[in-house]
């Protein structure tokens, strides 16, 4: 039993069980032993990698969008949520500095990352751009801005979720108990928070199905609209529309664990050592965006977005793809690749 498991088991025994959401939150974000509080490496040496780890193409295309849409004068603010190890920030900043130095000199990059292990390492990686960057460990620390570009890459999929199931026509929220040496599932009446999400989003749970509910989305959109007057927001993540996500063919949900690049259905192990994740309900992002006056403008897979917004222009004028570029293009563009799996939602607040 590792230290985090002992902490979780002690809490379960003290309270007679805890909601699954609380179990997941402790596994990922416990201040002493949580996965995202202690890991310092992702990519090949870690448990997973993102599109930004494969090469600089994603960052360059997003940088080009900033160049295409930015005003001709005044400060240009970029906010990255869950900025991780800083690869996306580095690729965007280097591309803009190379292609449009005057714009780069007007930029302020707001780097939001709550993981202290990753956060401390980023300043060294981004050393050449530190005069352009402000680091935050929470979105709540962000100062008010008149306008901004907002980017996130695999941000919403890392939120703790509620597990909700219907058995014999009884709707229940999954709580976690413990009977040595195993965790147990306890089925209880859904919390008011879960009922609110189900009703607001119009979610129905099929008989024999278990689904994930992310109740943290509304709070993010509320904070963004309170802090930024106008913005162009690009969300990159894996997930589905609501009908697809909660279709009976996914009757067991999408919750998964990742450890050393292996995927696990059993998330009740390796507490604090394994990444836990679930697919994003993009209709929930659209709904809560519209609730706060944010309009959906574009929703397609990552491959299509890259082709629609400047991928091929990166290699015009005799610019040849590097070996790394060629590998990343294959990974992002071939059918069934990351470019198909990941979706991109663009929203704007005017």
- CATH architecture label of 38-159+217-249+256-349: 3-Layer(aba) Sandwich (3.40)
Which are the contacts of 131, defined by CB distance < 8 A and separation ≥ 6? none
Q: Are 156 and 235 in contact (CB under 8 A)?
A: yes
State both tokens at 80. 């990255």
Please, what is the average pLDDT of the chain? 93
Which are the contacts of 242, defined by CB distance < 8 A and separation ≥ 6? 201, 202, 203, 281, 282, 283, 284
Beta-strand pair 133-136/145-153: unpaired
User: How much is the pLDDT for 64?
Assistant: 97
C-alpha–C-alpha distance, residues 107 and 77, integer Å: 6
State both tokens at 350. 């005017």
- Dump pLDDT digits (tens) for 280-300: 999 999 999 999 999 999 999
41 or 61, higher pLDDT? 61
C-alpha–C-alpha distance, residues 334 and 290, integer Å: 33
User: How much is the pLDDT for 324?
Assistant: 85
Question: Per-residue pLDDT averaged across 174-185, rounded?
Answer: 97
Q: Are 179 and 217 in contact (CB under 8 A)?
A: no
State both tokens at 131. 């005069």
Checking if the pLDDT of 122 tops 70, the result is no
- Dump pLDDT digits (tens) for 79-117: 999 998 899 999 999 999 999 999 999 999 999 998 867
Checking if the pLDDT of 54 tops 70, the result is no
Question: Per-residue pLDDT averaged across 32-37, rounded?
Answer: 91
Under DSSP, the state recorded for 343 is E
Q: How many residues does the chain have?
A: 350
User: How much is the pLDDT for 85?
Assistant: 87
Residue among 61, 42, 49, 96 nearest 234 (CA): 61
Three-class DSSP labels, 17-77: CEEHHHHHHHHHHCCCCCHHHHCCCCHHHCCCCCHHHHCCHHHHHHHHHHHHHCCCCCCEE
pTM, entire model: 0.95
Checking if the pLDDT of 49 tops 80, the result is no
Checking if the pLDDT of 150 tops 70, the result is yes
E strands, the chain, in order: 18-19, 76-81, 107-112, 133-136, 145-153, 162-167, 170-179, 182-188, 210-213, 228-240, 256-259, 262-264, 275-277, 280-281, 295-301, 342-349
- Dump pLDDT digits (tens) for 196-215: 999 999 999 999 999 999 99
- Dump pLDDT digits (tens) for 127-145: 999 999 999 999 999 999 9
- Dump pLDDT digits (tens) for 248-261: 999 999 999 999 88
User: How much is the pLDDT for 115?
Assistant: 83
State both tokens at 268. 């009740």
State both tokens at 117. 């292990």
Percent share of the chain, pLDDT over 70: 93
C-alpha–C-alpha distance, residues 174 and 190, integer Å: 8
Q: Are 213 and 203 in contact (CB under 8 A)?
A: yes
pLDDT-based confidence at 46, cuts 50/70/90?
A: low
Of 111-115, 157-161, 242-246, the least confident: 111-115
Of 37-46, 72-81, 83-92, the least confident: 37-46
Angle between helices 192-201 and 282-291 in degrees, nearest 10? 90
User: How much is the pLDDT for 171?
Assistant: 98
């Amino acid at each position: 039993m590792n230290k985090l498991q002992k902490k979780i088991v002690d809490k379960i025994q003290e309270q007679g069980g805890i909601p699954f959401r609380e179990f997941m939150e402790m596994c990922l974000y416990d201040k002493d032993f949580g996965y995202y509080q202690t890991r310092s490496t992702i990519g090949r040496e870690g448990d997973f990698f993102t599109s930004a780890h494969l090469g600089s193409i994603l960052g360059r295309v997003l940088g080009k969008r900033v160049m295409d849409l930015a005003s001709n004068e005044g400060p240009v603010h970029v906010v990255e949520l869950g900025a991780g190890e800083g690869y996306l920030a580095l690729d965007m900043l280097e591309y803009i500095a190379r292609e449009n130095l005057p714009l780069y000199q007007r930029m302020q990059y707001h780097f939001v990352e709550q993981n202290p292990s990753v956060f401390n390492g980023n300043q060294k990686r981004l050393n050449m751009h530190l005069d352009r960057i402000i680091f935050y460990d929470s979105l709540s620390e962000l100062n008010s801005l008149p306008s901004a570009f907002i980017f996130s890459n695999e941000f919403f999929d890392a939120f703790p979720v509620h597990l909700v199931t219907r058995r014999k026509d009884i709707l229940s929220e999954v709580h976690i108990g413990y009977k040595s040496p195993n965790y147990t599932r306890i089925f209880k009446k859904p919390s008011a928070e879960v009922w609110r999400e189900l009703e607001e989003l119009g979610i129905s749970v099929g008989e024999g199905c278990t689904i994930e509910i992310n109740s943290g989305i509304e709070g993010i959109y509320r904070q963004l609209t309170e802090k930024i007057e106008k913005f162009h927001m690009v969300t990159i993540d894996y997930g589905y529309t609501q009908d697809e996500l909660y279709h009976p063919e996914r009757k067991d949900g999408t919750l998964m664990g990742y450890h050393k690049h292996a995927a696990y259905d059993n998330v009740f192990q390796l507490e604090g050592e394994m990444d836990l994740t679930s697919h994003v309900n993009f209709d929930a992002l659209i709904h809560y965006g519209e609730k706060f006056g944010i309009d959906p403008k574009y929703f397609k897979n990552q491959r299509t977005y890259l082709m629609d917004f400047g991928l091929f222009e990166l290699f015009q004028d005799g610019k040849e793809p590097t070996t790394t570029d060629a590998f990343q293009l294959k990974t992002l563009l071939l059918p069934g690749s990351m470019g198909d799996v990941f979706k991109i939602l663009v929203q704007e607040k005017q």
